[in-house]
Structure 1
Amino acid sequence: MVERQYPIGTPGQPWGPAEKLEWQQAQQLKRSYFEDVVPAINALHEGFDVEQYGLLEYPANNYPLFVVKTRHWQSDKPTVLITGGVHGYETSGVHGALRFLETHAEHYSQWFNLVVAPCLSPWGYETINRWNPHAIDPNRSFKAPSPAAECANIMDYLGQQQWQFLAHFDLHETTDTDNSEFRPAKAALDGTVNTNWNIPDGFYTVGNSEIPTPEFQRAIIDSVRKVTHIAPADDEGKIIGAELQQEGVIHYAGRELGLCMGLTDAPYVTTTEVYPDSANATPEQCILAQVAAIVGGLDYLRDQA
């Protein structure tokens, strides 16, 4: 199979500043953070504390960044972090975080202090991109000092708060464009040869291999299967190249790889992965799957207390 040549750069040569600028200038705004996301956050002011934790100053726009916190914070309650839109193009991550706030967060505030950052990468949301405008993948950049402002802003904010987190839910998607656009672009950026992976048809989670939590992951999978189907392993018994740990669960080394799942020292961590391109899932089901993942994980943690 001959891989399609990415239209930017020279095969075998990593991108320099000129190629990165060419890539940035080729991106177009396709939807609006200020119309889709910010009004939904503003609508939460009545029931939650909404705080701006940073500002991304990019050529297309200046993007304010927000966290939403449950009120009546109590130091004796465990604290849970929920992040969405680390990859801005992964739509249900953003809208799943918002839907959870709208429909379930007040209920779960009985047992948890909740901190929700619905959209870490608003430029990526608007341009439907995995990277930020400097061709940096935020979900490989949660290291200090971070090369991605998306990561640096939330890292600085959480560092100032000094909260101790029990759990972190990081909401993602795996899409067909991972193979058609983002993996070829990454290979061109690095000057390497692209090798696509099999896109799993269904929901799965990525646990942190540094802190395995099999029962927690199972509770999430069992909750999500009520909403949408769970991804099967491929012919090699893997999902996106990683060994299957249990049904619908693989592991990555969160902190070592600079993933958002390594952002905190939480003992319970999961990266959710929804498949929005499935013939068997609607956009609404994808959002509900994200909500079900959070609900299933929180129910498990509540019952363990």
Structure 2
Amino acid sequence: MQKPRESIYKRYVPTLIAESTDSPAYWFVFLTGTANLLLNRQDGLAAIPSAAKAEQLGFVPVRSLYIGSLEGSPCYAVEAPEGTQPTVGTDFHSLRTLYERMDEDLFHLAGRALQMLNWDATHRFCGRCGTALADARYEHAKICPSCGLSHYPRISPAVITAILKDGKILLAHSARFPNKMYGLIAGFTEAGETLEDCVRRETMEEVGISLKNIRYFGSQQWPFPNSLMIGFIAEYESGEITVDGEEIAEASWFGPDELPNIPPKVSIARKMIDWYAEEYGTPSQGTP
């Protein structure tokens, strides 16, 4: 249903081992304990710092992880120590503020880098026996040398749903949304659930209605902190909107020509709402 975007793997190859350690590389640098990304004051790929060694960027890394190659050049996820000051011509930016300003592939690759750094920082010891973990040789994982337990990067699946009724879409406002923004019903999948069951449960819990004809729309990785957003379109079946008062403060049906403030364009929520507006809006009249 979603118009496919060109795969990031046309530009990026997620290999495990760098072929060369001396050639210039792209460095996705995050400040310790934050989602603040170091960028050059340039646009596109030129915004990502490039150097042969991270130390050439003005700091000694806390950790550095090879994450593959981008357009033939090595890429690293790097954690800069607390207090690192950007060099001339660079600045730290919150990754959350960049998803309308940054090339979508680069945003997602920066998200991958951030998640890998967080995983590396929080998986130093085995959760079963407490032994220090070692890197796996053939995949992105850590292996316990004592008990053999494998530890993989954590990914948390979450569903997000565009609910339709009589040509209108259900949009909801959470108290944590800025600028009176309205979005779609979403939530994390629980143990033992299918994605479709999660769609039904989250919708009933948050706005009190039942759904039918649930169908897949598309997906998007979301690195805050480690989500995989899976989008669905569903049709209203029964019930009256009753917000839970916790996750959702307000919810209502909106037509394509009366949409409130909605999420930014890079988010899958916005892509789904834009799809709805295009499908159900009034066709524009061309000049005869």
Under TM normalisation by the shorter chain, which class is it?
A: under 0.3
Q: TM-score, normalised by structure 1?
A: 0.25
Q: TM-score, normalised by structure 2?
A: 0.26
Flag the structure with larger Rg: 2
| More helix as a share of residues | 1
| More strand as a share of residues | 2
